[in-house]
Amino acid sequence: MRLLLDTKLNFNCFAILMMGCVAFSSCDKTDKTAPAKEKPETSVNTLLLKDYKPESMYNSHGPSVEKAAYPIIDMHAHPYAKSEQQLDEWIQTMDKIGIDKTVILTYATGDTFDSLVQAYGKYEDRFILFCGFDYTGYDKADFGPAAVKELERCFAAGAKGVGELGDKGKGLFYSRPTKAFGMHIDDPRMKPLIRKCGELGMPISIHVAEPIWMYRPMDASNDGLMNAFKWRLDDQEGIVDHGGMINILENAVEENPETTFIACHYANSSYDLSILGRLFERYPNLYADNSARYAETASIPRTVSKFYTRYADRLVYGTDMGTSEDMYKTTLRILETADEHFYDRNISSYHWAMHGFDLSAEVLEKVYRENAVKILKLQP
């Protein structure tokens, strides 16, 4: 039986299915000889899997975290504020939560990047802007010099790094104005740009792959189906798979030891953090942010806590989920507390509950701030 997101499920059948029982048809035990009884029309009888939103009944929660344990440098946000008022409101939220600085990954070059420098310049001590790469003409033999020149211009205009670059398996496409499908970060054409980043001290923030669920068949065995179906990659031809994308990242990191890389979202290896751990142990120029993968990791808190403890010097805090106060507080709850079995629909539509990592003060200080200070070459 294929589990379809828009199929109406009898709630008892859904519960059995979630526990790993077998045939959906076994849920129908109606006595065919007895008079049929009408079922009341209730929300349970017509519940869709996508609408199943349980609330935790466990009394396993401590006091809420209102402000971060240490001043945070958020290494993964985007130009969410579209007006001066929204920018002011964002700053107020940052102050309330304890966000000292936010890195704005603009993807942008040219006039677009210049306009963002001007807009966010009102709070230049609170926002750090990264630019993109200009891939214009990437499929031409003379690609390279013009892109390097634009990178140097953006650096002079205030860019402190590059990103977020993005490649989910078809090539680089996040930077604007041109997408570079078919060209990956380890392509020889990228070498001059990456080398220049190293010379200028500009870290590269790069999103590679997607969570493993997006590459797996969209069926009843897919643990991440609730989100995977929306972002699925399994049905796309010619796409590099998850393992192939990790190899591409490793090639670029290995070939450019003088350039610092930040793998967004744990390099999308939440399902097996040893993949990222192996890269950390081989390449001192690689870091990773935890942005937008809180739900993916909050289901395995003991594993993740051990990972943070072991690689505390290589992980940085990020959000990538907007600017709401509740969103920030959820990230603090996951990182700082030992709360168990809670849900937060603001950051996830997965079916599982989340649990806090209960990280130590020493680890939190590194992840929240110290590692970012080192990467960005800021004054302590």
Per residue in 355-365, pLDDT (tens digit) is 999 999 999 99
**CA distance linking residue 323 with residue 307, whole number of Å:** 27
Q: How confident is the model at residue 325 (pLDDT cuts 50, 70, 90)?
A: very high
The residue type found at 232 is R
| pLDDT at residue 59, rounded to an integer | 87
Q: Rounded to the nearest 5°, which phi and psi values hold at 336?
A: -100, -20
| pLDDT at residue 12, rounded to an integer | 40
Question: Which tokens hold the place of 122?
Answer: 């009102």
| pLDDT at residue 37, rounded to an integer | 54
Distances (CA, A) of 318 to 101, 200, 245, 379: 11, 23, 22, 20
Summarised one tens digit per residue, pLDDT across range 188-229 is: 999 999 999 999 999 999 999 999 988 988 888 888 888 888
The string of DSSP letters for 294-335 reads: HHHHTTSHHHHHHHHHHTTTSEE----S-S-HHHHHHHHHHH
Summarised one tens digit per residue, pLDDT across range 292-310 is: 999 999 999 999 999 999 9
Asked whether residue 10 carries a pLDDT value surpassing 70, the answer given is: no
Residue with tokens 């507080």, as numbered in its chain: 329
| pLDDT at residue 259, rounded to an integer | 98
Question: Which tokens hold the place of 57?
Answer: 């009944």
With b for 16 or more beta-carbon neighbours within 10 A and e for fewer, the 277-305 pattern comes to: eebbeebeebbbbbbbbbbbbbbbbeebb
| pLDDT at residue 237, rounded to an integer | 86
Q: What pTM value is reported for the model?
A: 0.87
**Could you say which DSSP state residue 204 is in?**
E
**Could you say which DSSP state residue 367 is in?**
I
**CA distance linking residue 358 with residue 342, whole number of Å:** 14
| pLDDT at residue 6, rounded to an integer | 41
Higher pLDDT, 42 or 107: 107
Distances (CA, A) of 184 to 91, 130, 192: 36, 20, 14
Summarised one tens digit per residue, pLDDT across range 21-42 is: 333 333 343 444 445 555 444 5
CB 122 within 8 A of CB 189: no
Question: Which tokens hold the place of 226?
Answer: 């609730």
| pLDDT at residue 209, rounded to an integer | 95
Q: End-to-end CA distance of the chain, in Å?
A: 57
Of 93-107, 211-225, 250-264, 349-363, which range is least confident? 211-225
| pLDDT at residue 316, rounded to an integer | 98
Average pLDDT, integer, range 247-251? 98
| pLDDT at residue 162, rounded to an integer | 98
Give the angle subtended at the CA of 276 by the CAs of 221 and 357, to the nearest 5°: 75
Work out whether the CA dihedral 211, 215, 218, 219 comes out positive or negative.
Answer: negative
| pLDDT at residue 213, rounded to an integer | 87
Question: Dihedral (C-alpha) 293, 295, 301, 304: value to the nearest 10 degrees?
Answer: -10
**How far does Cα 319 stand from its chain's mean position?**
8
CB 368 within 8 A of CB 71: yes
Task: Label residue 20 left, alpha or beta by phi (over 0 means left) and psi (-120 to 50 means alpha).
Answer: left
Q: Tell me what percent of the residues of the chain surpass a pLDDT of 70.
A: 89
| pLDDT at residue 349, rounded to an integer | 81
Domain 75-376 has CATH 3.40.630.30: no
| pLDDT at residue 40, rounded to an integer | 45
| pLDDT at residue 42, rounded to an integer | 57
- The secondary element (H helix, E strand) that includes residue 63 is none
